[in-house]
Amino acid sequence: MHAIANSPPPSGSSSATNEILAELIASLFLSRPSLNSSSNIAIDRVERSVPSRVPYPSRGKLGFDVSQLPAEIICEIFERFMEDDSVHPVFDDTPRPLVSYTCRSDPTKLGQICSRWRAVARSGKNPLDLEMDYNSGKRQHDVSSEAQILRSFIPHLTRWRKFRFNVSVKVLGLLYALIDSPHKPLILESVDLDFHDLLVHRQAEEGVDAIWKYFHSCPTLHKVVWHTRELRRFPQHAPFQLTHVHARFSVSIDDIMSFLPQVPLLQELQIESLRLYSQKNPSIVSPLLLQRLRLLRIRSHEIPATSFIASLTCPSLESLAIIHSNYLGQSNQDLQELPRFLRRSGCHLQKLDFRDAMDTDEELKRCLSDSPLRSLKSLYLSVDHVSDQMVEFLSSKSAAGEHEFAPFLEYLRLP
């Protein structure tokens, strides 16, 4: 976002003061095109409302000299200034900058203050983290503005580090042109690309696939989010160096197990929809070893997530989430797969999130009792019924005052 604001973030009361000043100054720019004496006096009044121990920027006779504000406060002002006016939105055809339908702020005003503010506003040669989204509640989508914003970023493709684009398939041509562009994403680390209207433009699927292949070819790419509109199964051209994979499309256990050997460096795996039945049910000779996996999150429907973890060994696992639902309204999981998985992995699990439509917690209590969870720090359990015996089991302490179930437990939630 900025070139010179690289100082450490303020702490304590300084941070609170920065927020107060930023919100006030940003509001002044929203209501007035330029600074004048009345706005300086207003800032001077707010100065007296913040803690006196906080050092202030140099002042003129009428208030702050805004050209001398610390860079971190200027950045706060930029962020406050660009926030949506969702409390009092104005929708009309008045020409306005390309911010959003609910943001009336003109970002060029901030650059008119002084050369120092313009320098802070520029990204210089720093890496760019980009995000483009749209209001899903609006019937109309400003594709021309979307294209104009995207067109302004494309010449800086060499500096793209992370991007999350939720855009229309109508800007597909701009992204497709990147394939033959002289600009290359030299430092790209993270890609989250979603075409929200692709379902009604299926003829564009081939182009979308070509764009994904292009970004997958970046040797620096480590994190991806694949959406259901773009993919129906794991891509065959996925880069081996991926460390974070978030699959937001329906998969089967077969699909996952065929994909995982392609990404030996995987650290985080999130499956949003384990719901497809496998074509076959082969006997597991040896569970797949995922040496580096630290986080595993599975949202399963009908297909039990415990059937998937029965195929894995994860010695570095720290966080596990199993969120399961069943059409019949009752659990169909073999919960004893959890203690078998944890013993086989020998991991030091710190966070467990378990949700299931169970009408009794006896089986869950037996599962937790058998599981090696001594290192657990956070536990989230959501079942249809939590008995007093379960609460006592989870909260009981030894004579020395330690939790018997998990001595390092810091967070327990039983919704």
Question: Residue 88 has what pLDDT?
Answer: 55
The Cα–Cα gap between 48 and 25 comes to 15
| 92 CB burial (10 A radius; 0-12, 13-18, 19+) | exposed
Question: Residue 41 has what pLDDT?
Answer: 39
Pick the closest to residue 304 from 328, 282, 286 (CA basis): 328
Q: With cut-offs at 50, 70 and 90, classify the pLDDT of residue 23.
A: low
The Cα–Cα gap between 179 and 183 comes to 9
* Least-confidence region, from 39-43, 101-105, 162-166, 240-244: 39-43
Question: Residue 248 has what pLDDT?
Answer: 93
Average pLDDT, the chain: 79
**129's torsion region: left (phi>0), alpha (psi -120 to 50) or beta?**
beta
* Least-confidence region, from 23-27, 121-125, 350-354: 23-27
* Least-confidence region, from 39-48, 65-74, 239-248: 39-48
Span 73-99, pLDDT tens digits: 888 887 777 766 555 555 555 555 456
Q: With cut-offs at 50, 70 and 90, classify the pLDDT of residue 20.
A: low
The three-state (H, E, C) secondary structure of the chain, written as one string: CCCCCCCCCCCCHHHHHHHHHHHHHHHHHHHCCCCCHHHHHHHHHHHCCCCCCCCCCCECCCCECHHHCCHHHHHHHHHHHCCCCCCCCCCCCCCCCCCECCECCCCHHHHCCCHHHHHHHCCCCCCEEEEECCCCCCCCCCHHHHHHHHHHHHHHHHHEEEEEEEECHHHHHHHHHHHHCCCCCCCCCEEEEEECCHHHCHHHHHHHHHHHHHHHCCCCCCEEEEECCCCCCCCCCCCCCCCEEEEEEEEEHHHHHHHHHHCCCCCEEEEEEEEECCCCCCCCCCCEECCCCCEEEEEEECCCHHHHHCCEECCCCCEEEEEEECCCCCCCCCCCHHHHHHHHHCCCCCEEEEECCCCCCHHHHHHHHHCCCCCCCEEEEECCCCCHHHHHHHHCECCCCCECCCCCCCEEECC
Question: Residue 21 has what pLDDT?
Answer: 60
Per-residue buried b or exposed e for 118-136, using 16+ beta carbons within 10 Å of the residue's own CB: ebbbeeeeeebeeeeebee
The answer to whether 236 touches 260, Cβ cutoff 8 Å, is: no
> Which residue is associated with the tokens 């059409």?
327
Question: Residue 109 has what pLDDT?
Answer: 73
Region 42-69: what's the mean pLDDT? 50
Region 236-250: what's the mean pLDDT? 92
Question: Residue 42 has what pLDDT?
Answer: 40
Q: With cut-offs at 50, 70 and 90, classify the pLDDT of residue 286.
A: confident
* Least-confidence region, from 53-57, 144-148, 227-231, 327-331: 53-57
Question: Residue 331 has what pLDDT?
Answer: 76
Region 234-258: what's the mean pLDDT? 91
Span 193-236, pLDDT tens digits: 998 888 777 778 888 889 999 999 999 999 999 987 656 788 87
Region 347-376: what's the mean pLDDT? 89
Question: Residue 17 has what pLDDT?
Answer: 56
Is the pLDDT reported for residue 353 higher than 90? yes
| 353 CB burial (10 A radius; 0-12, 13-18, 19+) | middle
Non-local CB neighbours of 335 within 8 Å, separated by 6+ positions: 306, 363, 364, 366, 367
Is the pLDDT reported for residue 25 higher than 60? yes
Question: Residue 4 has what pLDDT?
Answer: 35
- Please say whether the dihedral angle defined by the alpha carbons of residues 51, 57, 62 and 67, taken in this order, is positive or negative: negative
Is the pLDDT reported for residue 57 higher than 50? no
DSSP β-bridge partners for residue 412: 379
Is the pLDDT reported for residue 31 higher than 70? no
User: Percent of the chain, pLDDT > 70?
Assistant: 73
Region 359-387: what's the mean pLDDT? 87
Between 291 and 101, whose confidence is greater?
291
Question: Residue 116 has what pLDDT?
Answer: 84
Question: Residue 52 has what pLDDT?
Answer: 41
Region 165-183: what's the mean pLDDT? 90
Question: Residue 3 has what pLDDT?
Answer: 37
Is the pLDDT reported for residue 123 higher than 70? yes
